[in-house]
Structure 1
């Protein structure tokens, strides 16, 4: 089996790659080659695996050549993030919409109908004056994105669905929750602080929280997110349930609950390193995302949310050590 991960050097892409390489099998087939495409080369441990090949560049620039490689499976994770897309419209359109269409057209031209998982986002949901966001997002909730990033992701969901309907690919879309706790440095996502208010204090650094402690968010651990992507790939067409995007499991927590877990695991000194400095722009974006999900389709695939946020913090500590 020959696989492609776009965004393969990024946090989730690299984690997915390690999980696949460790297993050696996906959907009952041995993984012979794993191509990681990204703006930068992946970490040394990935490059040293003889099954791994690296393609450096934007998806838009690499798409035609990637299609000619005829992959059996694709995880399309590469994306510009929420605040970047809001601040730079052209960047979002090129990195998200244009790149996805170019990749889909390249896969279509190859003619071998690969299985593809597209990583979308809960940012496709929002509250529209004509259609307010319900308290709980269910399988039949209509997406009404309120940001450029959300619009781009929703358009790409529809492209994946239509290319699947036409028989060009076997596509399925997974809507990812905010992933916390991410290692490394903050990125341009509006949700970046949801990792920063845990990661930085545990490292002895100050962190700023731009939203109210009562703000509710939908989160998933890195491990649960990767498990969800693999389950969506391995699901049969009937088990996935049509061509509409599926929301991965969500743990609903308040920011205050996150800080309580931080204090329980890291101590009062870690909690004291978090300061509240309101940022209306971030609060508007994050506050417009849904925090509560209920999905029979997700449950039917055997996927469940993380048990609690404390376990997520403990997972981060184990892995960072």
Structure 2
């Protein structure tokens, strides 16, 4: 199987590539060729026994999509995007990357005779906009209130249409907000959800720009990779014409996030969170959904964490090398926090 990851320099793309390199498989099927693409050349750690190609390319530029699919990859993971805050600030860039790039990819696939690859499209909860019910069902209509959400909603509709026509075999994944994201903050409006946990766990101050009553839908980077692995080889016949699904996750308030941080790392970590209300971010977040009924995705075999404590444990294990205890006790706080105050592991 030949897998192409577009957006491989991003956090999810990098982790997916490293997972494939580690296991040699995706969704239980052997990967013999791996192509990694981004606007900057992806730097992915880990070896890979098969053929590996790394490319710097902008999908939205003329002719690029056609060159990328010329070798007919079996699975195309389309993660490339301008994230929410940046897409709202730069209208032209958001539509060029998020919409024009996606259409260019689908059209390039359509132009190749007898070529029907599995296309995994990274969508977003931003396709939903207020007013909506407290728990959004699978069949709820798309009413985005941001440019990013609009661009992703159009991409979802195109994925449905090209799949209906038999031009590709699409699976659209509406990712929860991925938390805790490793590394440095990106330009996503949702970045603070990770920051208020990641920074304190690393002994740094974090800024909280919204009220603690804000509720949102979350999953870990490990779950994000798992969604794609499952989507790569699942039986899509039962999806029918509706190819896009909201992924399972955890609904939690900011206060519940902070409580999970306190349980894990104590008051010393929580004390590093500085409240600094930001009206712009508050306005964007106010239009975001809070909870979902993901029965369809669960029935299809997608899985995620069941509590925010589990999400923090994934970060401690995957990014800080601190595995959670096997006896179910709270994971051990990082050493610098235990040094700062008495925190019982």
TM-score by length of 1: 0.94
Distance of aligned partners of 1:50 and 1:42 in 2 relative to their CA distance in 1, 3 Å threshold: farther
Structure-2 residue corresponding to 1:183 = 182
Are the counterparts in 2 of residues 253 and 309 from structure 1 also a CA contact under 8 Å?
A: yes
Are the counterparts in 1 of residues 21 and 47 from structure 2 also a CA contact under 8 Å?
A: no
Q: 3-state DSSP class of the match of 2:106?
A: helix
Residue 26 (str. 1) matches residue 29 (str. 2): no
Shift of 1:220: 0.5
Are the counterparts in 1 of residues 32 and 50 from structure 2 also a CA contact under 8 Å?
A: no
Q: 3-state DSSP class of the match of 1:60?
A: coil
Distance of aligned partners of 1:300 and 1:263 in 2 relative to their CA distance in 1, 3 Å threshold: same
Distance of aligned partners of 1:243 and 1:274 in 2 relative to their CA distance in 1, 3 Å threshold: same
Shift of 1:27: 4.8
C-alpha separation between the residues in 2 aligned to 1:299 and 1:320? 27
State the aligned residue count: 317
Which has a greater percent of helix?
Answer: 1
Distance of aligned partners of 1:49 and 1:183 in 2 relative to their CA distance in 1, 3 Å threshold: farther
Are the counterparts in 1 of residues 18 and 44 from structure 2 also a CA contact under 8 Å?
A: no
C-alpha separation between the residues in 1 aligned to 2:161 and 2:302? 26
Q: 3-state DSSP class of the match of 1:35?
A: strand
Shift of 1:284: 1.6
TM-score by length of 2: 0.88
Shift of 1:28: 5.0
C-alpha separation between the residues in 1 aligned to 2:182 and 2:261? 15
Moved more, 260-269 or 233-242: 233-242
Structure-1 residue corresponding to 2:16 = 16
Shift of 1:44: 4.9
Are the counterparts in 1 of residues 22 and 47 from structure 2 also a CA contact under 8 Å?
A: no
Residues 178-236 of structure 1, C-alpha deviations (whole Å, 9 max, x = no match) = 00000111111000011111111111111101110011010001111211122222221
Residues 99-143 of structure 1, C-alpha deviations (whole Å, 9 max, x = no match) = 00011111111231111110100000001xxxx211111111111
Structure-1 residue corresponding to 2:222 = 223
C-alpha separation between the residues in 1 aligned to 2:175 and 2:267? 31
Are the counterparts in 2 of residues 171 and 243 from structure 1 also a CA contact under 8 Å?
A: no
Moved more, 243-252 or 207-216: 243-252
Are the counterparts in 1 of residues 261 and 269 from structure 2 also a CA contact under 8 Å?
A: yes
Q: 3-state DSSP class of the match of 2:35?
A: strand
Are the counterparts in 1 of residues 29 and 233 from structure 2 also a CA contact under 8 Å?
A: no
Structure-1 residue corresponding to 2:123 = 120
Distance of aligned partners of 1:244 and 1:44 in 2 relative to their CA distance in 1, 3 Å threshold: closer
Distance of aligned partners of 1:27 and 1:255 in 2 relative to their CA distance in 1, 3 Å threshold: closer
Structure-1 residue corresponding to 2:92 = 90
C-alpha separation between the residues in 1 aligned to 2:134 and 2:45? 44
Residue 257 (str. 1) matches residue 235 (str. 2): no
Q: 3-state DSSP class of the match of 1:85?
A: helix
Over the aligned positions, Cα root-mean-square deviation in angstroms equals 1.6
